[in-house]
Chains A and B, each alone.
Chain A
Amino acid sequence: MRTTSSLCFAILFCLFFFPSCSEEQDFDQFDDLSITPAIASSIFSVEASEDFINSVSTLSAFYTQTFVFEAFNEQFVAERLLEGNITYDFENSTSKPINIIIEFLDEGGNVLDFESFDIAAGPGEMVSRTVDYGPNGKPLFLLTNTANLRLTGRNLGDNTSVSTEPEAKFIMKSAAEFLFQLVE
């Protein structure tokens, strides 16, 4: 009986009072945590019928529009923007070449940057252009200081010809995908 009790006490002693061990932990590693999600979203699209393009004099733009665009200059976004790109897709089934100019304007209306695309007369394949921003592209401040976008579309051909394509139209699409530093 005494032997059994002694044995039990020895086991209990070992289990409860033996100092527990732990591998060395380095909680400062948490400071190294980096969360950089890639956020993707469409920006704007324009679809213009050939009839509409023909209805406007070739001397002036068939479409021009300035609108507030502060997606990148919100403080939270601007401070965390790392790099990314904007992709522009064009489909032109009209009979005339089209020029598209996208101007990036600051709050004072000054042009920070612009992109100009000449799209050949259709019908043709979809044309896709990607503009990079960040270390391997244009400076990010062009986006983070942008308060407005001005979009201008010009007919570089005539305004009488009609495409043989049914429902001929010019379509421009755009989307952005950027990396953000949420946690550093």
Chain B
Amino acid sequence: MVMIPLLGTVLLSAQNKQILYDFYEIPQALMVNPGAKAQEKWHVGLPALSGISVQAGASGVSVNDLFANDGIDFNVKVRERVINALSERDDFSSTSQIELFNLGFRGKNRREDYYSFGMYTETDVIVYWPKDLAILAFEGNGGANIGRSFDLGHLNLRGEMVNVFHFGVNRKVNQELTLGLRAKLYSGVFQFKSTNNSGRFRTVPGQENTLENSIDADMQLQTAGVDGFLDIIDADTGNTSSEIQDLFTRRLFLGGNLGLGFDAGFTYQLNPQTTVTGSILDVGFIYNSKDIRNFTLRGSASNEGINVFLPEDIDNLGVDLWQELVDEIEAAVPFEENGQGYISFRPIKIYGSIRYDFGEGSSKTSRIDCGCAINVARGNSGSYYRNSIGGQMFLLKRPLGIQPALTGFYQRRLGKSLSIKTTYTVDKYSFSNVGLGINLQAGPVNFYILGDNLLSYQNIADSRYASLQFGFNIISWNGN
């Protein structure tokens, strides 16, 4: 069980989209800041191809650390690089997002408003390294571990797949300020979480016998939507694939557990060349009431084996002493199931940035002929600056606290058709994360591709973080 996260190492991640953030030439920038500078008259994302992102990261170990063909015994590598090296705060995580459609248009009557809506499917899983449980599994409670207290609270994991229907309004309040708000309706496919566990297990020299094993547990695993899929697989009717597909589709389109949320953001121009932005995403929840199966392990017990005191117990002894002992422990620390609904909160994300534009273009560039002219400020818009430099901050609410990331970036606009953004990001996954984003505009056709941690491509298996986003859009700035 403890090796399962390792198998997922290749798929690990955070949710930071630092290259896309404030890359306002790309319509999908509105998805990470609904208050970004929307410039288009309208845009249409190519269905299922307008926004695809896959991110993966592991904070403590890479595929190469374990599976490099280096002649070192695999068990030694696991022991030295995983069991003895990872802490309970190291995680394995993965996030993917597929935009099924994304549309936007400027209001006819309110030209300062840009409306966007769409639907995307997001899968997000994070598993923290269950350090003490892993040590217990690998080494046991005997030998040098007698006296050690194993923290059961090291079990922390969370995962979900949701389909998100969203509608956002982006309003240019004045020349300096743009605000945005996006409402979200979540349709859950599945969800599971085991967080806020506590307790301990330990083996110490006993009073009545040689050793005393004691457990004090308050643990819970909540699942929603998982059992339905497992039931289909178990039933194995010969039609498993289509049954899973049907259930999956039903869940995607509001047939599962539902929830609500919102995003909010702003862009504020401090002066013609300096802009600050901020956004908060996925402030929301899903109420899980369907297809619930929860597991709990709660209670306290200690045992020193079968203890017979003579003469007190001479008449109380049966042949099933061992089974009675086992039953006693199971009664004291019952492993139980229930179907109680629960609320799961979405992982909240916060972005902030400051950008300085410089290098005024010699000719009026991309958006001067925009039919809307909304974000062209007094003929001196930031769009006319070829270069931007700045810093970004990202905060993500995770089961064990806030996960931060800091990014420095440089953006260069080359004529009407090309814009590139390079980033350097520091977070728990990497101190050498250099990313690059390209936005290409060929007439109304827009294509973007954003790649992260490019230096790790020299040995991709040694990377602890990787992400890729790309998409196609049709964009109009005027009547065409």
Chain A interfacial positions (CB closer than 8 Å to B): 1, 4-5, 8, 12, 15-16, 18, 20-27, 29-30, 32-35, 37-49, 51-52, 55, 62-63, 65-71, 87, 89, 148, 173-175, 177-180, 182-183
Contacts and interface: CB of A to CB of B under 8 A. Distances in A.
Nearest to B454: A15
A132 B213 CA distance: 22
B211 A175 contact: yes
B139 interface: yes
A29 B137 contact: no
Contacts of B461: 22-23, 25
Contacts of A62: 310
The 8 closest A-B pairs by CB, nearest first: A37-B140, A40-B142, A42-B305, A38-B142, A175-B210, A20-B457, A42-B209, A44-B306
A16 B64 contact: no
Given A49-B310, A68-B323, A32 B305 contact: no
Contact of B208 (A21, A45, A66): A45
Given A12-B436, A24-B69, A33-B74, A45 B140 contact: no
Given A12-B438, A16-B449, A37-B136, A27 B67 contact: yes
Interface in B109-138: 136-138
A49 B309 CA distance: 8
A25 B310 contact: no
A179 B145 CA distance: 13
Interface of B: 3, 7, 63-64, 66-69, 73-75, 78, 136-143, 145-146, 203, 206, 208-213, 303-311, 314, 317-323, 412, 414-415, 418, 420, 436, 438, 449, 451, 454, 457-462
B140 A40 contact: yes
B308 A46 contact: yes
B320 A67 contact: yes
B310 A67 contact: no
8 contacts: A5-B418, A23-B64, A26-B67, A26-B69, A33-B74, A49-B311, A69-B322, A174-B210
Contact of A68 (B69, B139, B319): B319
B305 A16 contact: no
Given A22-B64, A180-B140, 8 more contacts: A25-B63, A25-B64, A41-B203, A43-B305, A44-B321, A47-B310, A67-B306, A183-B3
